[in-house]
C-alpha cells in the first residue's frame, strides 16, 4: 500500500512539472503557453504575484525545465548563467563565463541578450563575448566551445537552439558570418556553414517541421535561408528581407512565416547611396581614396558609418562603400508566407502571400489559431489569415505606446504584447483587437515571457517575477 502511494505521489509530482519551456519562445519556438492551468489575466508587482527575485542585468528570456528556471546576466562585470528554483524563485547557482572582456552592445541592449536552451539534462548558454557553454542542472560545467567575437558594435542577439543531438548557433556579423553546430554532449564542432553574403543579424534560427523533415530556417540580411540539420548544407533561399534581421520565423497550417523591417526598406523611404566616385569627389578631404567618419556628411550615411565600415578599422574602402549601397538597393520590408518543398532560389515560386507595410522591428510574429499576429512600435497590432494572407485588421492601437522588443506570446486564447516601458497588453477578438487587460510591470521589459502550467514568468529590468494563483 505504501509503495502504491509512493508511486502515485511520484507520478503526481512528475505530472505537475511535465510542461517545459526549453528555449527562446518555448516548445517548438511557438510562443504558446503550455501545460495545465489557466493563466490569470490581471497581474503585476502587487497583483497575483507568487514570487519576485532580483536578477543581474540582462535581456535573455526565462527557460524552464521541471523545477528549474535558467537565465543569463551581467553581474559585477561578469557574464553569468543562473538557475532558479521554479517554485520559490530562489537562486540555486550562478556560474561565471570565462570572459576576459565584455563585447560592446547597443545602448539599450546587454551582453547577456541571447536566451539559453535545455534538453532536460544540460543547459547551454551563448555569449558573444565567449561562445557556447554547457552546464548540468547542478551548475557543473560540462564543456565549453569558444567562438570568435562578432564583428558588430551592437553585440550578439541570436539564441542557441537544440536540433537533435546538436546545439546550433547563428553568428551573423558584418564580416565572417556563419552557422555552426556542436555536439550537445561534448561541445565538439559537428559542422560549420559560412554565410558570406550576410551581415549583422540578431534573429534566432527556427526549426521548421513538415512532411516528415526538419529544416533550420535563418532570417538574415536581404534573404531567408534553409539548411539541412544533418550537415548544414544550404537547401534554399528566398529574397525579400531587410538589411538587418531581428525577428525570428514561425510556422503553422503548413506554411512558414517571415517578418522583417529596418530603416530604408520601405518603398517611400529608400536611402539612395550616390556612386562611389561622386561621393569621394565631394567628401574625400585628404584625397587618399578612402573615407573616414569625419569625411561623411551629417545624416543617414554618417549615422550608419559602422555599417559601411565592415572591418571596423575606421576607414571605408570602395568595396565596403559599394557593398553597403547594394544592401540599400536590395532591402525590402515585408511579412510573407512560404510553402514547403523548395530548392535553390524560391523567391518567385514558393511565396504564397506577402505584405509590405505595418511590420514589426524586433518582436517576432505569432501563429495562433489560424492567424498571424504582429505588433510594431506605438503598440500597433496587425492580424492576418495564416493561409491566405487576408488582412483581418491592420495597425489597430492597443493603447500602450512605446517600442516593442518582447516577442508576441499567446495563452488561453489571449495574445500578450509587451512594450519596452513594461505594459503587458492581453488582447483577443475576431475582427479587431479587444483588450482584455493591461498590466503594468513598473520596469522596462525587453525579454519574452514563459507561460507554463498556468503561471507567467516575466523578466523585467531588475527581476524575474512569477504570476499565478
Mean pLDDT of 22-45: 97
Please report, for the chain, the start and end positions of each structural domain, with discontinuous segments joined by +: 60-202, 268-329
Q: How far apart are CA 422 and CA 420, in angstroms?
A: 5
Q: Could you tell me if 105 and 82 are in contact, meaning their C-beta atoms sit under 8 angstroms apart?
A: no
Q: At what angle do helices 276-283 and 318-330 cross, to 10 degrees?
A: 120
Q: What is the pLDDT of residue 8?
A: 40
Mean pLDDT of 203-230: 97
Q: How far apart are CA 294 and CA 424, in angstroms?
A: 43
Query: Where does the pLDDT of residue 340 fall: very low under 50, low under 70, confident under 90, or very high at 90 and above?
Result: very high
- Is the predicted pLDDT of residue 267 greater than 90, yes or no? no
Query: Where does the pLDDT of residue 124 fall: very low under 50, low under 70, confident under 90, or very high at 90 and above?
Result: very high
Radius of gyration of the chain (CA): 22
Fold of 60-202: Lipocalin (2.40.128)
Mention every residue, 6+ apart, whose C-beta is less than 8 A from residue 381: 373, 374, 375, 393, 395, 396, 397, 398, 415, 417, 427, 433
> Could you read off the pLDDT of 451-466 as tens digits, one per residue?
999 999 999 999 999 9
Average pLDDT over the chain reads 94
Higher pLDDT among residues 59 and 11, named by residue: 59
Report strand pairing: 117-118 vs 122-127.
antiparallel
Q: What is the pLDDT of residue 3?
A: 39
Mean pLDDT of 190-207: 97
Report strand pairing: 434-440 vs 49-54.
unpaired
Query: Where does the pLDDT of residue 1 fall: very low under 50, low under 70, confident under 90, or very high at 90 and above?
Result: very low
Q: What is the pLDDT of residue 4?
A: 43
Domain 268-329, CATH among 6.10.140.120, 1.10.238.10, 1.10.10.10, 3.40.640.10? 1.10.238.10
Mean pLDDT of 42-61: 97
Q: What is the pLDDT of residue 108?
A: 87
Mention every residue, 6+ apart, whose C-beta is less than 8 A from residue 429: none
> Could you read off the pLDDT of 279-304 as tens digits, one per residue?
999 999 999 999 999 999 999 889 99
Query: Where does the pLDDT of residue 5 fall: very low under 50, low under 70, confident under 90, or very high at 90 and above?
Result: very low
Q: Could you tell me if 366 and 410 are in contact, meaning their C-beta atoms sit under 8 angstroms apart?
A: yes
Mean pLDDT of 314-330: 93
Q: What is the pLDDT of residue 155?
A: 93
Mention every residue, 6+ apart, whose C-beta is less than 8 A from residue 269: 263
Q: How far apart are CA 136 and CA 159, in angstroms?
A: 19
Q: Could you tell me if 441 and 45 are in contact, meaning their C-beta atoms sit under 8 angstroms apart?
A: yes
Q: What is the pLDDT of residue 16?
A: 43
- Is the predicted pLDDT of residue 12 greater than 70, yes or no? no
The strand pairing partners of 118, in sequence order, are 123
Query: Where does the pLDDT of residue 2 fall: very low under 50, low under 70, confident under 90, or very high at 90 and above?
Result: very low
- Is the predicted pLDDT of residue 14 greater than 70, yes or no? no
Q: Could you tell me if 272 and 380 are in contact, meaning their C-beta atoms sit under 8 angstroms apart?
A: no
CA distances from 140 to 75, 81, 123, 146 (A): 19, 11, 10, 17
Taking residue 375's Cβ as centre, other Cβ atoms within 10 Å add up to: 31
Amino acid at each position: 500500500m505504501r509503495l502504491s502511494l509512493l508511486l502515485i505521489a511520484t507520478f503526481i509530482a512528475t505530472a505537475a512539472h511535465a510542461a517545459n519551456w526549453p528555449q527562446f519562445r518555448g516548445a517548438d519556438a511557438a510562443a504558446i503557453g503550455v501545460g495545465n492551468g489557466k493563466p490569470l489575466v490581471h497581474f503585476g508587482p502587487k497583483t497575483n504575484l507568487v514570487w519576485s527575485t532580483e536578477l543581474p542585468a540582462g535581456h535573455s528570456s526565462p527557460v524552464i525545465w521541471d523545477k528549474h528556471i535558467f537565465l543569463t546576466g551581467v553581474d559585477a562585470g561578469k557574464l553569468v548563467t543562473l538557475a532558479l528554483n521554479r517554485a520559490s524563485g530562489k537562486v540555486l547557482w550562478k556560474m561565471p563565463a570565462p570572459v576576459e572582456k565584455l563585447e560592446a552592445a547597443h545602448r539599450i541592449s546587454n551582453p547577456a541578450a541571447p536566451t539559453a536552451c535545455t534538453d532536460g539534462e544540460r543547459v547551454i548558454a551563448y555569449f558573444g563575448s565567449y561562445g557556447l557553454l554547457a552546464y548540468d542542472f547542478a551548475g557543473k560545467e560540462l564543456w565549453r566551445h569558444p567562438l570568435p567575437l562578432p564583428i558588430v558594435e551592437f553585440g550578439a542577439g541570436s539564441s542557441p537552439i537544440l536540433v537533435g543531438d546538436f546545439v546550433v548557433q547563428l553568428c551573423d556579423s558584418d564580416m565572417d558570418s556563419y552557422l555552426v553546430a556542436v555536439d550537445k554532449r561534448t561541445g565538439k564542432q559537428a559542422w560549420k556553414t559560412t554565410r558570406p553574403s550576410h551581415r549583422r543579424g540578431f534573429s534566432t534560427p527556427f526549426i521548421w517541421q513538415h512532411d516528415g523533415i526538419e529544416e533550420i530556417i535563418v532570417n538574415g540580411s536581404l534573404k531567408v535561408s534553409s539548411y539541412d540539420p544533418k550537415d548544414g548544407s544550404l537547401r534554399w533561399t528566398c529574397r525579400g528581407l531587410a538589411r538587418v534581421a531581428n525577428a525570428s520565423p514561425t510556422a503553422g497550417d503548413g506554411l512558414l512565416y517571415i517578418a522583417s523591417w529596418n530603416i530604408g526598406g520601405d518603398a517611400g523611404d529608400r536611402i539612395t547611396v550616390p556612386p562611389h566616385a561622386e561621393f569621394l569627389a565631394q567628401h574625400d578631404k585628404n584625397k587618399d581614396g578612402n573615407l573616414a567618419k569625419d569625411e561623411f556628411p551629417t545624416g543617414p550615411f554618417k549615422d550608419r558609418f559602422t555599417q559601411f565600415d565592415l572591418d571596423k578599422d575606421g576607414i571605408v574602402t570602395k568595396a565596403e562603400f559599394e557593398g553597403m549601397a547594394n544592401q540599400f538597393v536590395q532591402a525590402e520590408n515585408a511579412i510573407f508566407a512560404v510553402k514547403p518543398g523548395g530548392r535553390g532560389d524560391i523567391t518567385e515560386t514558393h511565396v504564397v502571400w506577402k505584405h509590405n507595410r505595418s511590420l514589426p522591428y524586433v518582436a517576432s510574429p505569432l501563429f495562433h489559431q489560424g492567424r498571424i499576429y504582429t505588433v510594431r512600435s506605438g503598440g500597433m497590432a496587425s492580424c492576418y489569415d495564416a493561409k491566405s494572407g487576408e488582412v483581418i485588421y491592420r495597425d489597430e492601437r492597443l493603447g500602450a505606446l512605446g517600442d516593442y522588443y518582447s516577442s508576441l506570446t499567446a495563452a488561453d486564447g489571449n495574445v500578450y504584447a509587451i512594450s519596452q516601458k513594461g505594459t503587458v497588453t492581453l488582447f483577443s477578438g475576431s475582427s479587431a483587437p479587444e483588450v482584455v487587460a493591461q498590466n503594468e510591470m513598473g520596469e522596462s521589459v525587453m525579454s519574452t515571457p514563459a507561460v507554463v502550467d498556468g503561471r507567467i514568468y516575466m523578466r523585467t529590468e531588475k527581476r524575474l517575477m512569477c504570476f499565478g494563483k
